[in-house]
């Protein structure tokens, strides 16, 4: 077994705090956040809100909890949200919006880029009829499976549905990846939306947490819902300190993740018969069905971890994948296929 550390390409959620981040945790002033007295949490919420161009922010334990709180704040029981059929709220949050919120999810087919068309969205808004749920919210996402969505198109959708009385939410778990790839500020990506969720524990490299941002009134509702969901974390400044550190030190460096993903894709594209696609910090490969498990076992022997998705396997670059780790991964893939 090689002696090098494991190269974990399963997700950007596997990052570990840096030494400097641990130091920030140790030095963080704390208080009771449920009473609004945790100075570090308050700083994180204000910093995130300013970064995203919103009035206020709310620190939550996870992106899933933040999305759920947003859906509960925007919608009453029996009302409906429109969203893409591959979006995280619909496929990867255990149906919490419906199970816990009694909210109807109406999934719309996304195109190859993860987008929804204006015609689709407007056509899905229900008439005011007692047979139908009231369509209340459009929930979009950026990035979608690593693919950057056009803020101009999001603005077009948002303005159209807002004219029909809908609110608009952005699952921006990887909004900073989108902003870096577009070369714009995160506030520009977030501008069309009434509420935006930003995850701290993916490419930004914090161990825990997300921030939900919106108007002051919206965040007041969401704060009550966070308490209802068991999300009052008391002296949470030790965790918020990681998020603050990430926003201050780990944003611009995300361009390195995109560059390494591009290098990984180029290296794997040299393997004959292996389809490869790259978007921001994600690379998708499609090994033959018979290769899925043997490939994973071969890579594991080389201390390379990949996901077990099928038929497309997702490889994700992140803070803990440097150039040497990337070279090891490319070499290990080639050694399987030669």
pLDDT band with cut points at 50, 70 and 90 for residue 338? confident
Q: Please tell me whether the overall predicted TM-score, pTM, comes out greater than 0.85 for this model.
A: yes
Do 114 and 185 belong to one domain?
A: yes
Do 195 and 269 belong to one domain?
A: no
| Residue 200 clears pLDDT 60, i.e. is over it | yes
Share of the chain above pLDDT 70, in %: 99
Do 53 and 200 belong to one domain?
A: yes
Do 154 and 27 belong to one domain?
A: yes
Do 140 and 43 belong to one domain?
A: yes
Do 32 and 47 belong to one domain?
A: yes
Burial class (CB in 10 A: 0-12, 13-18, 19+), 189: buried
The pLDDT score that the predictor gives to residue 224 is 98
Do 298 and 228 belong to one domain?
A: no
Q: Is residue 263 part of a domain?
A: yes
Q: Is residue 49 part of a domain?
A: yes
Which strands form 167-172's sheet, in the order they lie side by side?
A: 56-60, 210-214, 195-199, 167-172, 135-141, 80-84, 104-108
Mean pLDDT computed over every residue of the chain: 97
Other CB atoms within 10 A of residue 243 CB: 33
Q: Is residue 2 part of a domain?
A: no
Q: How far is CA 60 from its chain centroid?
A: 14
pLDDT band with cut points at 50, 70 and 90 for residue 1? very low
Residues 306, 10: Cα–Cα separation, whole Å: 5
Do 170 and 126 belong to one domain?
A: yes
How confident is the model over 45-84, as pLDDT tens digits? 999 999 999 999 999 999 999 999 999 999 999 999 999 9
Residues 113, 309: Cα–Cα separation, whole Å: 19
Of 195, 227, 248, the one marking the end of a domain is 248
The pLDDT score that the predictor gives to residue 3 is 53
How confident is the model over 17-45, as pLDDT tens digits? 999 999 999 999 999 999 999 999 999 99
Of 197, 223, 248, the one marking the end of a domain is 248
pLDDT band with cut points at 50, 70 and 90 for residue 290? very high
Do 179 and 64 belong to one domain?
A: yes
The pLDDT score that the predictor gives to residue 4 is 78
Q: Is residue 12 part of a domain?
A: no
Q: Is residue 8 part of a domain?
A: no
Contact in structure between 199 and 208 (CB atoms under 8 Å): no
Residue whose C-alpha is closest to residue 222's, from 191, 196, 186: 196
The pLDDT score that the predictor gives to residue 308 is 86
What residues make up the domain containing 150? 19-248
Do 299 and 215 belong to one domain?
A: no
Q: Which residues neighbour 221 within 8 Å (Cβ) at sequence distance 6 or greater? A: 73
Residues 14, 23: Cα–Cα separation, whole Å: 20
Report the number of distinct structural domains present in the chain.
Answer: 2
Q: Is residue 76 part of a domain?
A: yes
Of 230, 248, 266, the one marking the end of a domain is 248
CATH number at residue 101: 3.40.640.10
Across the range 93-98, mean pLDDT stands at: 98
Do 113 and 238 belong to one domain?
A: yes
What is residue 148's DSSP assignment? P
Do 177 and 92 belong to one domain?
A: yes
Q: Which residues neighbour 22 within 8 Å (Cβ) at sequence distance 6 or greater? A: none
Evaluate the CA torsion angle 233, 195, 204, 315 in order and state its sign: positive
Q: Is residue 6 part of a domain?
A: no
How confident is the model over 208-263, as pLDDT tens digits? 999 999 999 999 999 999 999 999 999 999 999 999 999 999 999 999 999 999 99
CATH number at residue 268: 3.90.1150.10
pLDDT band with cut points at 50, 70 and 90 for residue 14? very high
Q: Is residue 10 part of a domain?
A: no
């Amino acid at each position: 077994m090689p002696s090098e550390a494991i190269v974990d390409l399963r997700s950007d959620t596997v990052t570990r705090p840096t030494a400097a981040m641990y130091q920030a945790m140790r030095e963080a002033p704390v208080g009771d956040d449920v009473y609004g007295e945790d100075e570090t949490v308050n700083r994180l919420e204000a910093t995130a809100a300013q970064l995203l161009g919103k009035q206020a922010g709310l620190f939550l334990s996870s992106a899933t909890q933040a999305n759920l709180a947003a859906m509960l704040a925007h919608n009453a029981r029996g009302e409906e949200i429109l969203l893409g059929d591959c979006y995280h709220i619909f496929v990867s949050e255990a149906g919490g919006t419906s199970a816990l919120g009694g909210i109807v999810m109406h999934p719309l087919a996304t195109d190859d880029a993860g987008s929804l068309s204006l015609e689709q969205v407007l056509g899905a808004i229900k008439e005011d009829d007692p047979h139908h749920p009231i369509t209340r919210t459009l929930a979009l996402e950026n990035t979608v499976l690593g693919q950057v969505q056009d803020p101009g198109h999001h603005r077009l959708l948002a303005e159209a549905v807002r004219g029909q009385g809908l609110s608009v939410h952005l699952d921006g778990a990887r909004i900073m990846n989108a902003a870096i790839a577009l070369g714009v500020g995160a506030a520009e990506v977030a501008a069309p939306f009434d509420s935006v969720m930003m995850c701290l524990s993916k490419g930004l490299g914090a161990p825990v947490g997300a921030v939900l941002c919106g108007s002051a009134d919206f965040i007041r509702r969401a704060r009550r819902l966070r308490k209802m969901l068991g999300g009052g974390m008391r002296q949470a400044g030790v965790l918020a300190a990681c998020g603050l550190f990430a926003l201050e030190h780990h944003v611009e460096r995300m361009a390195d993740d995109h560059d390494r993903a591009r290098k990984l894709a180029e290296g794997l594209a040299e393997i004959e018969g292996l389809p490869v696609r790259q978007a921001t910090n994600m690379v998708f490969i499609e090994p033959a069905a018979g290769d899925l498990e043997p490939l994973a076992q071969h890579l594991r022997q080389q201390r390379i971890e990949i996901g077990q998705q099928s038929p497309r396997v997702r490889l994700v670059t992140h803070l803990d994948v440097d150039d040497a780790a990337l070279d090891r991964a490319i070499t290990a893939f080639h050694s399987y296929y030669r």
